[in-house]
Amino acid sequence: MKFVNKLALGGVFSATLITLGVTWVNGSAHSNDSDAFSKGDIESEISVVESPVYVGTIKNVADTEAFSAPIERTLTVRKGDTLGNMLARAGVAPGEAYRAIKALSQKFKPRDLRIGQKLDLVLGQANSGDSVGRHTLARLSVDPDIRNTVVVDKNPSGALVVRTHKRTILVDATRRGAVIQSSLYLSGQRAQTPAQILARLTHIFSFDVDFQRDVQRGDSFAVLYERLSGEDGEHLGYGDILIAEMTLSGKNIRLFKYQTKDGDTDFFTQKGESVRKALTLTPIDGARISSGYGRRRHPVLGYTKMHRGVDFAAPRGTPVYAGGRGVVEVAGRKGSYGRYIRIRHNSTYKTAYAHLKGFARGIRKGRRVRQGQVIGYVGTTGRSTGPHLHYEIHKNGRQINPRRLNLPSGRKLRGAELAKFQTVRARLERKYAAAPIRAQLASRPAGN
Ligand SMILES: [Zn+2]
């Protein structure tokens, strides 16, 4: 869009809007850095805008093409797409597509295209040979990441030139927080905290906090996160959470992002202790616990029965993470559990996930998984009243109440590493203090 607009000399052109259904199936794992810009597993509609542009202003379209209006198109990568089939679908003549892909490959490998990614094209009409009726390609551009744009241009002699534009990204730290009224999500959204940041916040605290029982009205959260924008102020997304804080029943936990010298990024307390544990209590982001562990009236069977797991209500398709590192022991249908995954973590612990809609790609028996890796998606298979995740923790072959789970605490930083952490932490604290929280949210309970 942006390139062509600069070339247009005025005149009003009609734009055709084509809406395509696109499904993102992004199995990206939940590491602290790499998922910063991932789209998650959501279904969305993407618009493709097609707008003819004034002809005489496009200098770099070969003369033979200058008599028909170049067309600008934005294509979105869908599941199963290759650059070749996308260009073919856009009507690009095969020879043109081949040359453009070859040129692009010098700076961007076409197999690195991700679902949801955009391709910008400027097309002309082919007037000769067996390509008549098809398009020539005046420009092809793609953003490998938010910092770079790779552009293939056809110069006046018809040769293709490829180059990379670097975009300047401005990073600023934004602080948000709120007293929790009904749920972390509602209060967070009222305080203009992006849903993505709230989801990551719950994930950071998922090792220690049971978001149903531990979070009460009057508790609060606060978060310092990076916001990314372009030079002209355009919003480009969010970077990392730098500080994550919760005050629960007057007890404050403030966690700091820190990358250790071996390259692991994790969240640490003021004392330099990691909160990460071998198993998480909440293997899903932003879900509400709809039924805890213990005796209850069974929603389907109607009589009182022991509920040997924890239910998280969440929309169908919400990603489910491996609660810990381990090996997939079962991934298949299992009676009233519906689609079911069980992971063996060690000789003592296993975790199980039931009523799934489906499994993440590659998840099958014998497969090794990392903690936080997406293993499946919330569904309502088996005996289930609605979309939810049923999560069990097994100790020595029996389901246990996750609240009784007493895992050793995570890694502690020591010596020089601890000293370095304290320097980083002091810097983050200063940033935090300098990023004032919105005024109407300042009434946080004492204890901070
Ligand atoms: Zn259940």
Centre of ligand 1 to C-alpha 183, Å, is 21
313 CA distance to ligand 1 middle (Å): 10
- What spacing in Å lies between the alpha carbon of 292 and ligand 1's midpoint? 8
For residues 356 and 319, what is the distance between their CA atoms, to the nearest angstrom? 10
Ligand 1 centroid to 340 CA: how many Å? 12
Q: How far is the CA of 199 from the centre of ligand 1 (A)?
A: 22
pLDDT under 50 in the chain at which residues?
1-66, 439-448
CA of 392 to the centre of ligand 1 (A): 8
- Of 123, 140, 166, which one is at a domain's C-terminal end? 166
- From the CA of 309, how far away is ligand 1's center (Å)? 5
| CA distances in angstroms from 118 to 24, 35, 266, listed in the order given | 13, 18, 32
pLDDT of residue 405: 78
**220-244 residue pLDDT tens:** 999 999 999 988 888 888 999 999 9
Ligand 1 centroid–CA 291 distance in Å is: 7
Q: How far is the CA of 343 from the centre of ligand 1 (A)?
A: 17
In this structure, the answer to whether residues 295 and 375 fall within a common structural domain is yes
191 and 313 fall within a common domain = no
Token duo for residue 218: 């009057």
Distance 310 CA to ligand 1 centre (A): 6
Q: Are residues 212 and 300 in the same domain?
A: no
Number of domains in the chain: 3
Any idea what the CATH number is for the domain that residue 91 is in?
3.10.450.350
Q: Specify the pLDDT at position 337.
A: 96
In the 8-state DSSP scheme, what is residue 329?
Answer: E
Cα dist from 170 to 194, 200, 238, 296, 435, whole Å: 18, 22, 11, 52, 16
Instruction: Judge whether 232 and 169 are in contact, CB under 8 Å.
Output: no
**CATH code at position 396:** 2.70.70.10
Q: Decide: pTM greater than 0.85.
A: no
Q: What is the pLDDT at residue 31?
A: 35
pLDDT of res. 27: 32
CA of 365 to the centre of ligand 1 (A): 23
Residues 250 and 159 in one domain: no
pLDDT at residue 35 in the model: 33
The alpha carbon of 102 and the centre of ligand 1 are apart by a number of angstroms equal to: 53
Do 256 and 392 fall within a single domain?
Answer: no
Residue 128 lies in a domain: yes
* Residues 181 and 256 occupy one common structural domain: yes
Task: Determine the structural domain holding residue 223 and report its residue range.
Answer: 170-276+412-441
Neighbours of ion ligand 1 (CB under 5 A): 309, 311, 390
Give residue 402 CA to ligand 1 midpoint distance, Å: 13
Give the Cα-Cα-Cα angle 325, 329, 334 (nearest 5 degrees): 125
Centroid of ligand 1 to alpha carbon of 278 (angstroms): 22
- Give the SS3 label for residue 94: helix
447, part of any domain:
no
pLDDT of res. 99: 93
Q: How far is the CA of 169 from the centre of ligand 1 (A)?
A: 45
